[in-house]
Chains A and B, each alone.
Chain A
Amino acid sequence: MRLKKPRLIVTFHTTTAAMGMEIACSRAGLPGRLIPVPREITAGCGMAWCAPPEAQADLEAFVTKENITTAGWYELTL
């Protein structure tokens, strides 16, 4: 398997919110991509935003500005 590194993971309550995050970030040129929710956060299904940890401040400010509802913010080594 791949080499693990620290990643920022943002989760959402719905797929609609996750898609809203993807489109808004890509428009704003902010980093990250959608991945399956890691089991460290919740076993099951769904998608999460995965970005470099150094982008956290920018992303936090961005979701507040854009009114995107997030469920949780995590830093994990994945």
Chain B
Amino acid sequence: MIYLDNAATTLKKPDCVVAAVTEALCNMGNSSRGTHDSSLKSARAVFAARSSLAKLFNAPGPEQVVFTQNSTEALNMALCGLFCKGDHVITTALEHNSVLRPLYRLEDEGVISLSVVPADRQGRPDYDAFSRLIRPETRAIVCTHASNLTGNVMDLERVGAIAKSHGLLLVVDASQTAGAYPIDMKRMNISVLCFTGHKGLMGPQGTGGMCLARDVRIRPFKVGGSGVQSYSRAHPAEMPTRLEAGTLNGHGIAGLGAGVDYILEKGVDAIHAYEIALAKHFYEGVRDIPGVTVYGDFTNWNRTAVVTLNIGDYDSGAVSDALWEDFGIATRPGAHCAPLMHHALGTAEQGAVRFSFALFNTLDEADAAIAAVKELAQCD
């Protein structure tokens, strides 16, 4: 099999991740629930993972790193815990449903009003619209760092500067970039950075979280066991316990921590350069094939290693199924949980076939994918 669906989840994990999860399953107790060796092993692994994540994203410190099940949970916690009645929020057409649906729900419940920065046919956001849409009651900009559909990267320094100059919160969905593209919370003025553990961070599914800037406070949506302050009626107010009730996914977090350490050792820039070289090779191999339409902005390579295309008017599901059945190539078809982006690209009906590359892919695999697209396009 040639696995090119890494934007959905990375399939191949570094050996150290597998080893860390196995070790955790064999030896880890419950973090923050006692001081015997097994419990401390877990607490140490969780703390190490927090520290590594804080380093990777230049977050204020390990106590500002909160673990959740995935970025969807982190985004829901952040969006539902930040906004109050009357707040206005700006988001973009690049967003995933994990951003859009919580915002739509808050809008439908009469809590917030919402404005959307549009995108053009190449999926590029209209940066000028951010400032244009700001109103006196605007509280935040909520945006993705990269589109999961096109791989276009949002210029977060630019958006962060706008947010800072207007005193707005900046909530970022880093699902597609964490571990695969450089992120600096301070330089980008990010208030809340939501990440998922199973994609570019190369950890297990069921891991993710968010990093909070020092002055950001989120209302917890769950309270309960914390391992500290047991006689207090209220859940502890201190970070990160404030936002973590119940036993953490210690086994998964141990794997996530190992993945982040692996990334820190390799360097995000080096990982990005490798992945982009594969994506570029593939893009250059397919873009001129008659009948192939590639979506997104390829005028520069400040993007993620995603190349999304269609062949003629074929249903993207049929193309993806043929790639799998006839060539053993795993891709993702259809609508990619990003409805506004599909509308901007004009692919709402056809969907699109996404090829996404990661660190364990090779140039030979990219070549095989080019040959497969050529062959499918030829018998068009």
The answer to whether B326 and A44 touch across the interface, beta carbons within 8 angstroms, is no
The answer to whether A39 and B319 touch across the interface, beta carbons within 8 angstroms, is no
The verdict on B311 contacting chain A, using a C-beta distance below 8 Å, is: yes
The verdict on A23 contacting chain B, using a C-beta distance below 8 Å, is: no
With A1-B311, A1-B376 in contact, do A44 and B318 touch (Cβ < 8 Å)? no
Kindly list chain A residues whose C-beta atoms are within 8 Å of the C-beta of B314: 1
With A2-B326, A36-B320, A39-B351 in contact, do A44 and B335 touch (Cβ < 8 Å)? yes
CB of A14 to closest CB in B, whole Å: 16
CB of B293 to closest CB in A, whole Å: 15
C-alpha gap A76/B376 in the complex (Å): 21
Q: In the complex, which residue of chain B has the Cβ closest to the Cβ of A48?
A: B317
C-alpha gap A36/B314 in the complex (Å): 13
The answer to whether A35 and B317 touch across the interface, beta carbons within 8 angstroms, is yes
- Residue-wise, chain A 33-65 has the 8 Å CB interface mask toward B (1 for contact) of 001111110011110000000000000000000
The verdict on B225 contacting chain A, using a C-beta distance below 8 Å, is: no
A-B contact pairs, 6 of them (CB 8 A): A1-B319, A1-B380, A36-B317, A39-B349, A45-B336, A45-B351
Give the residues from 6 to 26 in chain A that come closer than 8 angstroms, CB to CB, to chain B. Answer: none
Residue total for A at the interface (Cβ-Cβ under 8 A): 13
The verdict on A71 contacting chain B, using a C-beta distance below 8 Å, is: no
Give the residues from 84 to 111 in chain B that come closer than 8 angstroms, CB to CB, to chain A. Answer: none
Partner of A45, one of B312, B315, B319, B337: B337
The answer to whether A43 and B380 touch across the interface, beta carbons within 8 angstroms, is no
Kindly list chain A residues whose C-beta atoms are within 8 Å of the C-beta of B326: 2
The verdict on B322 contacting chain A, using a C-beta distance below 8 Å, is: yes
Give the residues from 144 to 198 in chain B that come closer than 8 angstroms, CB to CB, to chain A. Answer: none
Give the residues from 354 to 380 in chain B that come closer than 8 angstroms, CB to CB, to chain A. Answer: 376, 379-380
C-alpha gap A45/B311 in the complex (Å): 18
The verdict on A30 contacting chain B, using a C-beta distance below 8 Å, is: no
CB of B205 to closest CB in A, whole Å: 15
Give the residues from 283 to 315 in chain B that come closer than 8 angstroms, CB to CB, to chain A. Answer: 311-312, 314-315
The answer to whether A43 and B333 touch across the interface, beta carbons within 8 angstroms, is no
The verdict on B118 contacting chain A, using a C-beta distance below 8 Å, is: no
Partner of A43, one of B311, B321, B348: B348
Kindly list chain B residues whose C-beta atoms are within 8 Å of the C-beta of A78: 318
With A1-B319, A1-B376 in contact, do A36 and B333 touch (Cβ < 8 Å)? yes
Kindly list chain B residues whose C-beta atoms are within 8 Å of the C-beta of A44: 334-335, 351
Give the interface centre of A35, A36, A38, A45 by most chain B CB atoms within 10 Å. Answer: A36
Partner of B379, one of A1, A36, A38, A46: A1
Having A1-B322, A37-B317, one finds 7 other A-B pairs with CB under 8 Å, namely A1-B314, A2-B318, A36-B317, A36-B320, A38-B317, A43-B348, A45-B335
The answer to whether B318 and A1 touch across the interface, beta carbons within 8 angstroms, is yes
The verdict on B38 contacting chain A, using a C-beta distance below 8 Å, is: no
C-alpha gap A39/B376 in the complex (Å): 19
Q: In the complex, which residue of chain B has the Cβ closest to the Cβ of A36?
A: B317
- Residue-wise, chain B 192-224 has the 8 Å CB interface mask toward A (1 for contact) of 000000000000000000000000000000000
